Amino acid sequence: MNKTHNQKAWFMVLPVVLLVAFSAVIPLMTVVNYSVQDTFGNNEFFWVGLEWFEEILASNRMHDALGRQVIFTTTILLIEIPLGIFVALHMPKKSGFWSSICLVLVALPLLIPWNVVGTIWQIFGRIDIGLLGYTLDQMGIDYNYTQDSFAAWVTIIIMDVWHWTSLVVLLSYAGLKSIPDAYYQAAKIDQASRLSVFRYIELPKMKGVLLIAILLRFMDSFMIYTEPFVVTGGGPGSATTFLSIDLVKMAIGQFDLGPAAAFSLIYFLVILLISWVFYTVMVHSDKEAGL
């Protein structure tokens, strides 16, 4: 399309620029401001440079929270992505009554507000009034997610799998449906086994969609806050205190604005870096595929 050169178009962009500047840039700059200053109390601040950053990067508490977060994210990705692809391979392919029913039921957990998910699972896991807790108790398994850190981890991981696997299922299903039938017919002529069809036709064609799914799940699980907070509030002791829960404890519980601001900047930059890596990989693989 031919674009005309017209400087007056700036007036149309101005409202967006002002709104974004007011609601995004100014708070970000405030956080940067807090991260390089310390306070005597009574709203008096003085410059300390990078002291908060050094203290945060060396603190054991942050390393523990980061370790827990990495373990959580890795486990979640390892469970959800294969399970999502597996379920998507078995969804009904013809667009008819059953495929619509399956799509609606599969998408249902995605629509629930996140703290409601936390509340559902909190009650679901209780031994006295929850189905899961009661069943496990009747089977004789020792299950108490408020006191046992392994049970707390298992509960949070299963809750996240329940909540978000459907996203991977829907994205993979969309990717699978876009493969033209000619590929499957060629595979039938060659008498390829089901596993070969998956490895050589379906997986390469789904690569773009899978990268998006992995990126979305990685970012979401790295930033997870409401669901573990509602179910365990940080876990027995600090067993399920992930990065964001730790950050909020520091910022609002202890009101240490300096370290909290430094922490949030580091958090933001880590997520930005990894998203950039994913984005570069995606764009590179798109170019290879000739798109």
Partner 1 sequence: MKINKSAFIMTLYIIFLMLPIYWLINMSLKTNQEILTTFSLWPNDLTFDNYMVIFTDPSWYNGYLNSITYVVMNMVISLSVALPAAYAFSRYTFMGD
Q: Kindly tell me which of 129 and 195 has the beta carbon lying closer to partner 1.
A: 129
Residue 162 as a binder of partner 1 (CB under 8 A): the answer is yes
Q: Which DSSP string corresponds to 216-262?
A: HHHHHHHT--HHHHHHHTT-STTTT--HHHHHHIIIIIS--HHHHHH
Angstrom CA distances, 25 to 20, 34, 37, 120, 177, stand at: 7, 14, 19, 36, 41
Q: Kindly tell me which of 86 and 150 has the beta carbon lying closer to partner 1.
A: 86
How far apart CA 264 and CA 256 sit, in angstroms, is 12
- Closest Cα to residue 260, out of 25, 37, 24? 37
Residue 1 as a binder of partner 1 (CB under 8 A): the answer is yes
Residue 193 as a binder of partner 1 (CB under 8 A): the answer is no
Q: Kindly tell me which of 6 and 43 has the beta carbon lying closer to partner 1.
A: 6
Candidates 106, 168, 171, 231; binder of partner 1 (CB under 8 A) is 106
From residue 245 to residue 264, what is the string marking binding to partner 1 with x (rule CB under 8 A)? --------------------
Angstrom CA distances, 193 to 87, 137, 182, stand at: 19, 44, 16
Residue 277 as a binder of partner 1 (CB under 8 A): the answer is no
Residue 179 as a binder of partner 1 (CB under 8 A): the answer is no
Candidates 29, 74, 78, 86; binder of partner 1 (CB under 8 A) is 86
CB 50 within 8 A of CB 258: no
For partner 1, the binding residues (CB under 8 A) are: 1, 3-7, 9-10, 12-13, 15-16, 19, 86-87, 90-92, 102, 105-106, 108-109, 120-121, 123-124, 128-132, 134, 162, 166
